[in-house]
Structure 1
């Protein structure tokens, strides 16, 4: 007796793939690299534009951000992909693994910074000026990242439990908005002084621009994100079977 093939036309059924595949491994590796690199480059404050435009104490122009803005939004895109295709427990594993890799990088930078410099090494001051700030940036990033990514995954998975295969765009943008808002506020509150922000006007510029930018990136690349998700769903042989235990939604 043969088992009937799963019905892929029924969009009312919730599906998840097992994380035991090479696709998940590649996504997880990329996710960790994005997080570690973003933490390093976030030590550089960036100001886009000249002149000054303020409303009260709020500085609207020039735009203030940091080096992490160029790559970090990809972490949320990858988090969406993992949560949508592999479920909450897979996303939680990715988040914890990324946390561990970023912490390892930060500890390594700290150890190297305090190791005795060679007599011919002339860049100790430059090393400390840039990478010496990384541990505090990592604290800011990891605090925001843990809260934001977990919220992102929880919101997406709970929405999927109600809409199944329908409403992909809505749950992607809603989960990202919730996660990025929490992430940005926590990160900016801790990291602002590290990159040289000294006024409340600059801080709110930093936080608001960061949030709008990250969500904007998500919107711009949303068609690509949805294509990648659909591609993975069609390539993962376990996706259209019954949802495996490790993909169960988070408990209330």
Structure 2
């Protein structure tokens, strides 16, 4: 079961990083016109999100489940594994971009409206290093914050109130994640103003906050299926061991 969790966790994180280059309009997704509001003194804002945020909430659900059954040591292990493999993947992306393309390949996308396939390939996979660094740093820090808060709450609740420790830890860690990635990638990397960084951070966090609440039943559903699959005795032993691994 841990292998399945790890495989999905890493794959989900890598996919989120890869599709994160596309920005979409949440208003248009629901058939509405883009809004135009002002926040932190920044005008002309709308609810525009990266496609990566579609998958990141699942990542935090997985974190809470692994935390519940295997403890913080296991969460740190799969988080470090994800960061290492994502870093490896991006190195391979840059290697692929540097490989000289075949001459005939340039125009193979003309019929689909892509005049230069090489530029299109490099544009999709060639994310700025600040964005990559910011995303990985935010992911790692937010995972550590999530684990810490989860177990702080669990000390007081025991095995009851799964919703409180799961949702509470996610809400705080998502805020940390949103701020760090924008600060590193766009404040440091692009020189954006504080008003713009904070405004976009608030918009992204509002989405993540909403998703964290909506996905709470998914955690209970997963817990119920796992408990049925493993049996009460095994589950009790795993959860006790997970609490014992808190300081490891």
Question: TM-score band, normalised by the shorter chain?
Answer: 0.7 to 0.9
Structure 2 partner of 1:215: 209
How far residue 183 of structure 1 moved from its aligned partner, in angstroms, is 0.8
The more displaced of 130-139 and 103-112 is 130-139
8 Å CA contact 2:37, 2:45 repeated in 1: yes
1:236 aligned to 2:233? no
How far residue 53 of structure 1 moved from its aligned partner, in angstroms, is 2.1
1:27 aligned to 2:28? no
Q: How does 1:133-152 map to 2 (within 5 A)?
A: 133=127, 135-152=129-146
Compute the TM-score of the two structures, normalised by the length of structure 1: 0.81
8 Å CA contact 1:57, 1:200 repeated in 2: no
Q: Equivalent residue of 1:46, what SS?
A: strand
Higher relative contact order (CA 8 A, sep 6+): 1
Q: How does 1:50-199 map to 2 (within 5 A)?
A: 50=34, 52-55=36-39, 57-59=41-43, 61-122=45-106, 123-133=117-127, 135-192=129-186
* Unmatched 5+ stretches in structure 1: 1-22
8 Å CA contact 2:40, 2:199 repeated in 1: no
1:96-141 Cα deviation digits (max 9, x unpaired): 1111121111111011111111222211111121211164432121
The more displaced of 209-218 and 51-60 is 51-60
Compute the TM-score of the two structures, normalised by the length of structure 2: 0.82
More helix by share: 2
Count of residue pairs brought into register by the alignment: 229
How far residue 228 of structure 1 moved from its aligned partner, in angstroms, is 0.6
CA distance in 1, matches of 2:245, 2:40: 49
8 Å CA contact 1:73, 1:218 repeated in 2: yes
1:144-168 Cα deviation digits (max 9, x unpaired): 0000011101111232133211121
CA distance in 1, matches of 2:180, 2:134: 7
How far residue 58 of structure 1 moved from its aligned partner, in angstroms, is 2.6
- Indicate the RMSD between aligned Cα atoms, in angstroms: 2.6
